[in-house]
Structures are given as structure tokens and as C-alpha cells.
């Protein structure tokens, strides 16, 4: 591209042309934009500053509204910046503001420009530079330009000074050391009579102060006491709603100990709540929520309004009122509340319905279900919730069902009942949101089958044909549970004293059962083994006597259901794990693996390892190809050592690679754990329940087995309380800043050792300033709560502050200016809000050093 | 701090003015604007003017064909921000005389300048219309 031709500069499009052109393009907008971008690139290289600046202007426009990258214009922007013409400078700064950021590479180059402009005599230039600095400042810029800002803080021109103050915060943020330099000037500005400066300074302080204060609770009762009266007056008399709202908010957040103030605030909030304006309703609800934590009576008073808002047209309001309702929930009313809410949920749109359900679930499960006394009712509520048409909270319900089942032993019967209801219903199987719930139901019905009233029914439910709609992982759980139920039924059957010879029962087994589907009952279901089982059966409430025929039916059913599965590729084969892979499994801490299992002798030597119901899935007479439904390759029966060990030996021969190194002595020992399930090591105490539980563990995500205490006392796990850690985060940013401020305040004195103490004194410093801030507001209320009071009190606090007299003077000056201020309402609001919010002031503990050192 | 951004969006969702007080990349801006605009424009007259978005709030108001959206921190007074929006509109009205969307579109840089006079570093520094407009009028006279 040759240099700019006459044609180019003659016909440069101005911004207006660009915009007009753009608007005229109905379809070819992108093309037009790219063409313009091309032009701009050309123009911006021109040497004529005007051309450049127009190009820059156009580019800013495009970038701002059409998201085009303008990083190529960085250099030209700087060039335009050096133009003597103000308009060019303005354009350049504008462009810079839009496009520069911390990682712009040539940010350093701008330092000199900024410095020049900051020192210029033209106040507008200065303000331009300040504005720019405020947005793009980074550490280097802040550091380099601190001296200039410092000078400007005491500039003669109001316009400049105000902006300098506003910039100061940003500079502080980026470069905390600058605090040392600028702070005093900043504080001096506090005494400035001009309201604009004042509000700017107040703003800065509120920002600085707010973050520190927000962590320290309202500890300064004296200040609060003084301020309460004026605020209440304000609330009563003001016509400005926003001011009213601010007062309300202040009262409820930081002055909540003052009953009268709170009552007044709540009264006003009620006014908000019944107002037509949805804005006010929303804000009223929010304020009520803040109050609710300490003053539940306030919410109770307004209960009807809140519940009415649940059905408001505005979703925001609905959600707010829902949160409020949740805040009102306690032990006594949780069931009615949930009833009401579930009714609402049924009538509402899907989004809100799920909101409601979600909040019910989270509130009830908070702190390990501390709010729930009647778990039976809650469990049935969970079942009901799953049936709500729009419910998408399946996962949460699933978690809670399983969680409650584990922790609360007494509720298990009811749980099984609910599970049965869920499993029986074929319609639920089609709903994909409910799969989680169904899997939980299935697991629980298998796990706690002894509590069920009709296991046969359960079995049928688990095996119904529509279960093939479920995804494989959930079907696996169904199958597991089906087997658990079956085992249980068989136990009951045997225990009920049916005197059939086991071999006879075997005859009933259809002979054509395929290899992997059959399982064998070894000859003795020894009674000792039933020692545990009888305990279990004592609790059985089987209403349907489990007869021999029913068992046979069950078995037929099982075979029918699972037969086709075997050929399907969904069934996964759990292969053996190779030695090297086993080697890669890292040991958990504290687990000491021994070379052999001789220690087990000591532990379990007295227990007869003669558990005789071991199920091996796989007909021993037929070839084992390693297929098994689950890792239920459990223990060998002592009665049949030869058969089982020969099986084992056979398997070892074929898959020797995958077995752990052989210990000769243990090859025939019954303590030898199944080769491919290292988790079962050490667990040799078999009986059906344990076996079943083990399989459950391997399929269901690991949950720590809890022993629940008798009552609906919910079991807690060892959990580390993590809350204190989170508090650290917001402080880290402030620490550098507050550290710097601290240093400034204490000057050369020793800094107090503990951070909290120094924070306190830091904040007590703040409090001093806060008192200054609040004075104008206090006085604006004609009820001069006492300039005299305040200063005498401060005097009495025992630390001399030299600026007391000048402060007093300033207070009076401010009184006059305050009336003028009233006109600029928004700004005032801002400053009032800023000043009043951090009224939570800490206790004044220690030395208040004079900052006019 | 305080105000995070100010947007002016028309009814079709096109941004007419965007002023950010914290740095966001172009992609982020685009995404942000898309999300917010969608949320706010979908609301009707009866609903309240505050929307919660991520960890801050959006206060918005509609004037004729233009939506004014201000993103603020959570501890800001929403009603005060509404008043600020109104002040902004009044100021522009005073300057342009019966301001409409077209005015803002064609004189975008003036709108930006006005905004820069009023808000600095996320806080409102000037609320007097006279004070805001005088530098701008000076500038126009000079050029």
C-alpha cells in the first residue's frame, strides 16, 4: 500500500457515514463491515492525525458494538494520543479505554503519555488521563503514576480532584504501596467541604472499608445506638423510596438488635410487599429474607403475603418467596409446609415445580436431616415427589433414599414399602428422569428385603418385562436385587421347616438351564449358618407364606427373565485382572499388605469357616469360561473342598498369569480369597447376607457402612468442617491493601502482631472516619443527635485527636452544604448508602493514632 | 466495584452502547451480552426490574425502544441504580433534545463521553446535569 493518496483523505468516511452506511445495509452487513475494516486499516496508517483519529473513532464504534478486535490499532492510538488537539486526544483515549487491558503488550508506552497529560494544565486533559488510568491501570502503571495522582489529590480544580479521588481506589488496588503515599491526601480530602469530593471520598472509603467490615459483625454498639434514631426518622419521613429501602436494608443487616428499629423496618417492608409495583415486592421479599434469620416473627406476620407471592406472575418474586418459605420451615411445620408446597408444585410450570422440589429436598436434608422427626412420612414424601410429572430431581431423590436407608435403620421397612410402590408401577419405567430413583428403589428392596411384606411381589416387580427399557447399569442393580430377594425367599422357605430334601428341590430345577444361568445349592444349608439368618427371619413379616411351589415359580421366573440376557452383549464379562495391572493399583494409606494371610487364623480361627452356601455361578460340570454375572465368586464350601479347589486349580492352570504368586500352603486352604477380587481379602465370614452386601458394594458406589443408632437418630460420618477455610479467600486480596493501609496509619509505630487486632485498630481508625461520614447524615435530620455529643464522647474515649476542632468546624459547614446536597439525590443516595452500610463497626479497642502525623 | 457495566440495547437485542468497568475479552462480552439481553428482554412489564445473574445483579429499565441495563454488585441499592438510569436518560435528553435511539447511534461517542463524566471506576461521581454537560458543550464548541 502506498502512502495516503489525496483521494483517500478526501473521501474518508466519517463515523456518521459509516453508521449510515451500516444501517442501510439490510443483508450485506458483514460484507460492509469487512470493507469498512479494510478502509480503516488503510486510513489508520496515514500520517495525518485527523484521518487517523477518524479511523480510530470508527474502529471503536465497530469494536464496541460489533465485537471486532481492535488490537491492531494500538500503535496508531498512541500516535493520535500525542496530538495537541483535544478532540484527537479524546478520541484516542476513548479507543484506549475500550481496547486496552492488562495484557496489552505496549501498555508501558502509554505511561509517558499519561504522565504528560496528568501534569497538563488543562483540566479536561487531566481528567481524560485519569479516566483512562482508572480503567486500564495495572501494577506498573499504578506504580509509575502514583506521584502524579498524589499531586492531583490536592489540586485546585474541583473537577480534577474529584476524579483523582475516584481513581485512587483503583490505584490502591493494583499497587498497594501507593497507599503509603496517597493516603494522607485522601484523608485530607475528607475534610473538604465540597459535597462532590466528599461523596467521592466516602465512596472510596466505603469500598476499602466495606470489605473489612463486612467480616466483622456489628460490634460497635455505641455507634449503632447513635445512628439508629436518625435512621428511623429518615424512614418515617422520607419520600424517596430508594432512601427508604436503603435505611431498611441498613437496619436489617447491621442494626438488627434494635427491636424498635427492626419493627419499624418490618412495617415498611410490609408496605413494600403489598405494593403493586413488582420491584418493591421483590425488594420487600429480599429484605424480609435478611430479617428472617434473626427475627422469624417478622416473616410469620407476613406469612399470607409471602405465600400469595408464591403464585405471582413474576418468576423472580416466586423464587424469592419460595426461599422465604423455606426459611420459615422448622421441625413442627415441615410436613404441612411440604404438603402446601407440593400442591403448589403440582400446579406450577416445570421450572418452578423443580425449584420447589429442589428446595424442599435441600432444606430437609440439611445437616443430615435435622429438621425431620418423622422419617416414615418423609420417605413416603420422597416417593410421592418422584411421581410428580415434571420432576427432574431424580438424582437427588435417589441419593436421599439411599442415604436415609443407610443411616436410619428404623425407617427401612417404610423404605422398602415405598420402593415396592415405585417398582411395581410399570409406567415409571419409561420416564428417564426416574431411572435414578428406580435404581435406588431396586437396591433398597434387595438390601432390606427382610422388611418387605411380600417378597414375591417384589420379585415380580423386579423382573417385569418392561425393565428392558432401563439402561444396563440400572438393570444390573435390578438383577442383583432380584437375586438377593431370591436368596432371601429361599432362606425363608428352608427356615420355615419345609422338610424337603435339598436334593429333591434340586430336581425341580429345570434341567435345560444353560451353564451360566444355573446356580447350585450345595447340599447342606447348614443350620449353623442360619444362625444369623434366623435372627433375620425373626423380623420377617412375610405375609405370603413362601411355599415350595412359590419358590419354584420364582426360580422359573428368574430363569425366564435372565435366560435371554445371557446371550445379549449387554452382559459384561468381568475378566480377571492381570498381575501388572494389580501392581499399578496404589495402596491406600495405612494399609499394610502382608505376604500371607496367616494372621487371619488368629482373628477368625474360632469361626467355623464352614459356610455352606456358596454360590458359584456356573455349572461346575460344564466348562467354565469365566463368565459370571457378578464377582460373586465367593467362598468354597468346606464340605466340598475337593470340587471347589479343583475348580480353582483348573482355573489357575488356564489363567495362571492373572493370579497372585502362589503360596503353596494356601492352595487348598479355605481362607484363600477369590483371586480376582482383592477387596474381599480378609472377609472370610460368610453367610448370605454378607455375601449379598458385598456384591451390593461392588456395584453401588461405595458408601461407608454405618451402624445406625436405635431411634431416628441419623448417623453422621466423620466429616471435616470446611467452613473456616472459605473465609480466608476474600481476605487475601484485602490483606495486601489493608496491610498497606495499616502501615500508613501506624506510621513508625509498632504494628500490632495479630491480624485481627490490627484489623480492629485499623477499623477503629475507620470508625473514626465513619463517624465523620455519618455526621452529615445525622445532621441532615435536624435531630442533631449531637455534634456536641459526638465530639465530647470522642474526647472521652481518652485518645486525643488533634483534628477534633477542625472536624467540629467542618461538621457545621457540612450542615449547610447538606441541604444543597439533597437535590442531587442519586449521588446522595450513593454516598448515604455507602456510609450507612458499613455501620457495622467493631469495638474500639486500642490506640487510635493520630493520622495527621 | 459498584457498577460493572452499562449497556443500552434495543428491542431486537442489538447493543447500542456498551461500557464496561472491568476487563472482559470480546468473546466474554459477546456471551455476556447475549445471555443478559435474552433474560431481560423476555420479561414483561409486570415483572420486577432486577435480575440476578451469576454473582451480580442486573438492574434494567425500558425507555421507548431502548433497554438500559446496568450490572451492579450484590450490595448495591437497586432503587438507587434505577434512579441513576433515569438521570442518565434525562441528561442525554437535555443534551440531544428529545433523545431517541437514533441519536445515540449516530453520536455514540458523545453518549460515551457523557457516561464517562458520570461514572468513573464503577462509582457515580457526578449527578448534576449541568456539571456533566458543561465539559461536553465546551468540547463541541472548541471543535
Please provide the DSSP assignment of A764-811 as one string.
HHHHHHHHHHHHHHHHTTS----HHHHHHHHHHTT---TTHHHHHHHH
Q: Which residue of B has its CA nearest to A243?
A: B80
CA–CA gap between residue A308 and residue A306 (Å, rounded)? 5
Structural element, H or E, at residue B124: strand B123-124
Contact B9, B69 (CB under 8 A): yes
Percent of chain B with pLDDT over 70: 99
A679 phi and psi, to 5 degrees? -70, -15
Residue B138: how many CB atoms within 10 A of its CB? 12
The answer to whether A272 and A287 are in contact (CB under 8 A) is yes
Contact A306, A285 (CB under 8 A): yes
Is B30 touching A (CB cutoff 8 A)? Answer: yes
Helical packing angle, A178-190 and A195-213, nearest 10°: 130
CA–CA dist A739, A722 (Å, integer):
26
Phi then psi dihedrals of residue A194, to 5 deg: -75, 130
Q: Is residue A786 packed enough to be buried (19+ CB in 10 Å), middle (13-18) or exposed (0-12)?
A: middle
Q: Which of B46, B76, B113 sits opposite A313 (nearest CB)?
A: B46
Contact criterion met (CB < 8 Å) for A279 and B48 = yes
Name the 3-class secondary structure at B4.
strand
Task: Check residue A747 and give its pLDDT.
Answer: 58
**How many Å apart are CA A197 and CA A162, to the nearest integer?**
5
Domain that holds residue B16: 3-142
Q: What's the rounded Cα separation, in Å, for the pair A133 and B116?
A: 12
Task: Report the 10 Å Cβ neighbour count for A24.
Answer: 10
CA B119 to chain centre: 10
Q: How many CB pairs under 8 A join A and B?
A: 149
- Cβ-based contacts of A127 with chain B (< 8 Å): 135
**H helices then E strands: how many in chain A?**
39, 0
**SS3 label, residue A114:** helix
Spell out which residues of chain A touch residue B51, defining contact as CB-CB under 8 Å.
Answer: 316
pLDDT at residue A94 in the model: 79
Rounded Cα gap, residues A334 and A373, in angstroms: 9
Of B46, B76, B128, the CB nearest to A824: B128
Q: Dihedral of CA A486/A490/A491/A496: which sign?
A: positive
**CA-nearest residue of chain B to A23?**
B105
Report the distance separating Cα A307 and Cα A341, nearest Å: 10
Nearest CA in chain B to A167: B121
Record: contact A169-B78, CB cut-off 8 A: no
Q: Tell me whether residues B50 and A315 touch, CB distance under 8 A.
A: no
Residue B70: DSSP 8-state: E
The alpha carbon of residue B72 is apart from the nearest alpha carbon of chain A, in Å, by: 13
* Residue B114, number of CB atoms within 10 A of its CB: 23
Nearest residue to A455 via CA among A415, A509, A416: A416
Say yes or no for a CB contact (<8 Å) between A313 and B123.
no
Describe the strand order of the beta sheet including B56-63 as a list of residue ranges. Answer: B15-20, B3-10, B66-72, B56-63, B50-53
Q: A101 to chain B: which residues are within 8 Å by CB? A: 23
Residue in B125, B132, B135, B136 to test binding to A, most A beta-carbons within 10 Å: B125
Interface contact B89, partner A, CB < 8 A: no
**B130: contact with A, CB 8 A cutoff:** no
Average pLDDT per 10 consecutive residues for chain B, totaling 143 residues = 86 87 84 88 82 87 90 85 90 89 85 86 81 83 75
Q: By the CB < 8 Å criterion, does B78 face chain A? A: yes
Could you count the other beta carbons within 10 Å of the beta carbon of residue A261?
23
Query: Cα A731 vs. chain centroid, distance in angstroms?
Result: 19
d(CA A420, CA A425): 9
- Could you give the CA distance from residue A226 to residue A243 in angstroms, rounded to a whole number? 19
pLDDT digits over A404-459, tens only? Answer: 888 888 888 888 888 888 888 888 877 788 888 888 888 888 888 888 888 778 88
CATH code of the domain containing B74? 3.30.450.60
Q: Using CA atoms, how far apart are residues A602 and A781, in angstroms rounded to an integer?
A: 85
Set of chain B residues whose Cβ sits within 8 Å of the Cβ of A277? 48
Contact B78 A210 (CB under 8 A): no
Using DSSP, state whether B123 is helix, strand or coil.
Answer: strand
Q: How far is B52 from chain A (nearest CA, A)?
A: 9
Q: How many CB atoms lie within 10 A of CB B36?
A: 21
List of chain B residues whose C-beta atoms are within 8 Å of the C-beta of residue A737: none
- Within 8 A of A200 by CB-CB distance, chain B residues are 123, 125
Give the pTM: 0.60
Chain centre to alpha carbon of residue A568: 42
Q: Do A826 and B30 touch (CB under 8 A)?
A: no
For residue B48, give how far its alpha carbon lies from the nearest alpha carbon of chain A (Å).
4
Can you point out the beta strands (E) in A60-136? none
Q: Which residues pair with B51 in a beta bridge?
A: B58
Q: Is-contact A283 B79, C-beta < 8 A?
A: yes
Q: Is the minimum CB–CB distance between B21 and chain A shorter than 8 Å?
A: yes
Contacts of B80 in chain A (CB under 8 A): 242, 246, 826, 829-830, 833
The pLDDT of residue A220: 56
Sequence-ordered list of residues with C-beta below 8 angstroms from that of A615, at least 6 positions apart, any chain: A519, A520, A632, A634, A691
User: Angle at Cα B7 formed by Cα B4 and Cα B9, nearest 5°?
Assistant: 160
* Predicted local confidence at residue A570, as pLDDT: 53
pLDDT at A713: 64
Asked if B124 and A826 come within 8 Å (Cβ–Cβ), the reply is: yes
CA A25 from chain center: how many Å? 46
- Verify whether the Cβ–Cβ distance B120 to A163 is below 8 Å: yes
B127 vs A827: CB contact, 8 Å cut-off? yes
Whether residue A169 and residue B18 make contact (CB cut-off 8 A), yes or no, is no
Q: Do B121 and A170 touch (CB under 8 A)?
A: yes
Residues in chain A where the model's pLDDT stays below 50: 1-4, 210-218, 499-544, 609-641, 664-674, 676-692, 694-711, 719-733, 748-853
Give residues with Cβ within 8 angstroms of A112, minimum separation 6: none
How many angstroms separate the CA atoms of A321 and A311, rounded? 9
Phi, psi of B62 (to 5 degrees): -105, 130
> Using CB atoms and an 8 Å cut-off, which of residues 45-74 of chain B contact chain A?
46-52
Query: From the candidates A827, A828, A834, A840, which should be mutated to test the interface with B, based on the most B CB atoms within 10 A?
Result: A827
- Which of A162, A200, A281 minimises the CB distance to B48? A281
Nearest CA in chain A to B16: A65
Closest CA to B51 of A267, A542, A282, A14: A282
Domains contained in chain B, number: 1
- B10 interfacial to chain A (CB closer than 8 Å): no
Of A84, A110, A116, A108, residue with least CA distance to A95: A110
Whole-number pLDDT of residue A120: 76
Q: What is the pLDDT of residues B16-35, one digit of tens each?
A: 888 888 888 888 888 888 88
* A254 three-state secondary structure: helix
DSSP codes joined into one string, A622-639: S---S--SSS---PPPTT
Residue with cell 495525518: A48
Q: Which of B50, B125, B142 sits opposite A86 (nearest CB)?
A: B142
When CB atoms are compared, the residue of B105, B135, B139 closest to A87 is B139
Cβ separation of A825 and B112 shorter than 8 Å?
no
What does each C-alpha distance from A531 to A380, A495, A535, A650, B57 come to in angstroms?
33, 11, 7, 33, 65
- Taking the CA of residue B49 and the nearest CA in chain A, the distance in Å comes to 6
Question: A169, B121: Cβ pair inside 8 Å?
Answer: yes
How far apart, in whole angstroms, are the C-alpha atoms of residue A630 and residue A473?
A: 12
Please give, rounded to a whole number of angstroms, the shortest distance from the CA of A279 to a CA of chain B.
4
- For residues A40 and A55, the answer to whether their CB atoms sit within 8 Å is yes
Chain A nearest-CA residue for B14 = A65
Cβ–Cβ below 8 Å for B77 and A316: no
Grid cell in block for residue A662: 502362589
Distance of alpha carbon A479 from alpha carbon A459, whole angstroms: 10
* Residue among A61, A163, A314 minimizing CB distance to B47: A314
Task: Calculate how close chain B gets to A147, using CA atoms only, in Å.
Answer: 19
Given an 8 Å threshold on Cβ–Cβ distance, is A246 in contact with B109?
Answer: no
State the nearest Cα–Cα gap between A227 and chain B, in angstroms: 19
A19, A316, A829 member nearest B48 (Cβ): A316
Contacts of A134 in chain B (CB under 8 A): 120-121
Amino acid at each position: 500500500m502506498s502512502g495516503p493518496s489525496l483521494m483517500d483523505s478526501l473521501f474518508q468516511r466519517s463515523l456518521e457515514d459509516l453508521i449510515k452506511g451500516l444501517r442501510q445495509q439490510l443483508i450485506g452487513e458483514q460484507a460492509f463491515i469487512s470493507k469498512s475494516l479494510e478502509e480503516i486499516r488503510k486510513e489508520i496508517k496515514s500520517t495525518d492525525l485527523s484521518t487517523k483519529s477518524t479511523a480510530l473513532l470508527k474502529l471503536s464504534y465497530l469494536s464496541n458494538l460489533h465485537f471486532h478486535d481492535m488490537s491492531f490499532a494500538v500503535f496508531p492510538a498512541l500516535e493520535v494520543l500525542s496530538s495537541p488537539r483535544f478532540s484527537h486526544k479524546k478520541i484516542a483515549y476513548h479507543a484506549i479505554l475500550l481496547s486496552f487491558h492488562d495484557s496489552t503488550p505496549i501498555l508501558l508506552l502509554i505511561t509517558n503519555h499519561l504522565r504528560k497529560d496528568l501534569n497538563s494544565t488543562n483540566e479536561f486533559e487531566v481528567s481524560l488521563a485519569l479516566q483512562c488510568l482508572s480503567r486500564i491501570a495495572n501494577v506498573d502503571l499504578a506504580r509509575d503514576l502514583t506521584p502524579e495522582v498524589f499531586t492531583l489529590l490536592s489540586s485546585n480544580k474541583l473537577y480534577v480532584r474529584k476524579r483523582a479521588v475516584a481513581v485512587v481506589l483503583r490505584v490502591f488496588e493494583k499497587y498497594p504501596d501507593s497507599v503509603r503515599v496517597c493516603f494522607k491526601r485522601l484523608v485530607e480530602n475528607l475534610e473538604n467541604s465540597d459535597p462532590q469530593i466528599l461523596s467521592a471520598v466516602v465512596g472510596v472509603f466505603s469500598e476499602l472499608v466495606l470489605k473489612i467490615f463486612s467480616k466483622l459483625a456489628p460490634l460497635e454498639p455505641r455507634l449503632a445506638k447513635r445512628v439508629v434514631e436518625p435512621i428511623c426518622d429518615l424512614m418515617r419521613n422520607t419520600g424517596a423510596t430508594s432512601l427508604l429501602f436503603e435505611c431498611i436494608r441498613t437496619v436489617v443487616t447491621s442494626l438488627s438488635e434494635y427491636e424498635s428499629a427492626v419493627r419499624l423496618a418490618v412495617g415498611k417492608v410490609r408496605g413494600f410487599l403489598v405494593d403493586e409495583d413488582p420491584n418493591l415486592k421483590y425488594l420487600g421479599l429480599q429484605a424480609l429474607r435478611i430479617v428472617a434469620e434473626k427475627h422469624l416473627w417478622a416473616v410469620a406476620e407476613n406469612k399470607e403475603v409471602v405465600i400469595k407471592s408464591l403464585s405471582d406472575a413474576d418468576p423472580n418474586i416466586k423464587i424469592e418467596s419460595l426461599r422465604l418459605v423455606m426459611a420459615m420451615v422448622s421441625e413442627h411445620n415441615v410436613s404441612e409446609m411440604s404438603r402446601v408446597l407440593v400442591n403448589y408444585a403440582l400446579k406450577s410450570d416445570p421450572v418452578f415445580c423443580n425449584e420447589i422440589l429442589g428446595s424442599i429436598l435441600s432444606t430437609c436434608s440439611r445437616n443430615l436431616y435435622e429438621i425431620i422427626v418423622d422419617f416414615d412420612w418423609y420417605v413416603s414424601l420422597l416417593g410421592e415427589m418422584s411421581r410428580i410429572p415434571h420432576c427432574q430431581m431424580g438424582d437427588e431423590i435417589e441419593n436421599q433414599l439411599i442415604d436415609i436407608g443407610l443411616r436410619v435403620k428404623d425407617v427401612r421397612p417404610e423404605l422398602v414399602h415405598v420402593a415396592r410402590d415405585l417398582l411395581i408401577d410399570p409406567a415409571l419405567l419409561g420416564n428417564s428422569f426416574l431411572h435414578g430413583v428406580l435404581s435406588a428403589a431396586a437396591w433398597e428392596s434387595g438390601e432390606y428385603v427382610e422388611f418387605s411384606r411380600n417378597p414375591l411381589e417384589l420379585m415380580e416387580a423386579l423382573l417385569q418385562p418392561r425393565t428392558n427399557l432401563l439402561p444396563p447399569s440400572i438393570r444390573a442393580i435390578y438383577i442383583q436385587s432380584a437375586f438377593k430377594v431370591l436368596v432371601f425367599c429361599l432362606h425363608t422357605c428352608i427356615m420355615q421347616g419345609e422338610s424337603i430334601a435339598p436334593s429333591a428341590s434340586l430336581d425341580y430345577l429345570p434341567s435345560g438351564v444353560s451353564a451360566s444361568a444355573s446356580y447350585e445349592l450345595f447340599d447342606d444349608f447348614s443350620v449353623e449358618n442360619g444362625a444369623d439368618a434366623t435372627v433375620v427371619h425373626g423380623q420377617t413379616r412375610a405375609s405370603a407364606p413362601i411355599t415350595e411351589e412359590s419358590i419354584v415359580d420364582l426360580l422359573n421366573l428368574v430363569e425366564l427373565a435372565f435366560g435371554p440376557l445371557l446371550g445379549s452383549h449387554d452382559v459384561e464379562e468381568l475378566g480377571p485382572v492381570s498381575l501388572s495391572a494389580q501392581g499399578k493399583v496404589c495402596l491406600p494409606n495405612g494399609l499394610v499388605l502382608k505376604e500371607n494371610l496367616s494372621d487371619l487364623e488368629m482373628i477368625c480361627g474360632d469361626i467355623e469357616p464352614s459356610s455352606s452356601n456358596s454360590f458359584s455361578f456356573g455349572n461346575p460340570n460344564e466348562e467354565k469360561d469365566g463368565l459370571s454375572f457378578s464377582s460373586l465368586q465367593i467362598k468354597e464350601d468346606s464340605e466340598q473342598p475337593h470340587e471347589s479347589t479343583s475348580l480353582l486349580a483348573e482355573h489357575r492352570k488356564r489363567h495362571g498369569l492373572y493370579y497372585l504368586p502362589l503360596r503353596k500352603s494356601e492352595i487348598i486352604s479355605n481362607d484363600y480369597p477369590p483371586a480376582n477380587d482383592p477387596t474381599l481379602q480378609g472377609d472370610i465370614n460368610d453367610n448370605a447376607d454378607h455375601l449379598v452386601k458385598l456384591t451390593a458394594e461392588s456395584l453401588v458406589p461405595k458408601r461407608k457402612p454405618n451402624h445406625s443408632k436405635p431411634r431416628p437418630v441419623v448417623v453422621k460420618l466423620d466429616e471435616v468442617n470446611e467452613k473456616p477455610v472459605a473465609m480466608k479467600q476474600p481476605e487475601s486480596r484485602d490483606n495486601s491493601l489493608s496491610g498497606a493501609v495499616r502501615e500508613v496509619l501506624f506510621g513508625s509505630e509498632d504494628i500490632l502482631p495479630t491480624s485481627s487486632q490490627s484489623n480492629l485498630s485499623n477499623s477503629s481508625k475507620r470508625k473514626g472516619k465513619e463517624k465523620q461520614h455519618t455526621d452529615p447524615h445525622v445532621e441532615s435530620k435536624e435531630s442533631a443527635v449531637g455534634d456536641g455529643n459526638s465530639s465530647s464522647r470522642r474526647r472521652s474515649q481518652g485518645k486525643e485527636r488533634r483534628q477534633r476542632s477542625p472536624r467540629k468546624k467542618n461538621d457545621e459547614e457540612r450542615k449547610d452544604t447538606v441541604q444543597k446536597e439533597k437535590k442531587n439525590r442519586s449521588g446522595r443516595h450513593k454516598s448515604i448508602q455507602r456510609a450507612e452500610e458499613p455501620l457495622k463497626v467493631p469495638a474500639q479497642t486500642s490506640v487510635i493514632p493520630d493520622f495527621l502525623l | 466495584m459498584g457498577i460493572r457495566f452499562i449497556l443500552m440495547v434495543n428491542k431486537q437485542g442489538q447493543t447500542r452502547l456498551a461500557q464496561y468497568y472491568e476487563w472482559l475479552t470480546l468473546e466474554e462480552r459477546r456471551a455476556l451480552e447475549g445471555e443478559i439481553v435474552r433474560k431481560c428482554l423476555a420479561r414483561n412489564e409486570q415483572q420486577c426490574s432486577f435480575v440476578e445473574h451469576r454473582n451480580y445483579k442486573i438492574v434494567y429499565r425500558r425507555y421507548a425502544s431502548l433497554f438500559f441495563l446496568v450490572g451492579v454488585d450484590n450490595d448495591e441499592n437497586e432503587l438507587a441504580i434505577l434512579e441513576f438510569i433515569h438521570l442518565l436518560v434525562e441528561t442525554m435528553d437535555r443534551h440531544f433534545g428529545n433523545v431517541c435511539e437514533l441519536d445515540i447511534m449516530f453520536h455514540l461517542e458523545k453518549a460515551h463521553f457523557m457516561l464517562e463524566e458520570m461514572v468513573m471506576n464503577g462509582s457515580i461521581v457526578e449527578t448534576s446535569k449541568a456539571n456533566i454537560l458543561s465539559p461536553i458543550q465546551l468540547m463541541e464548541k472548541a471543535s
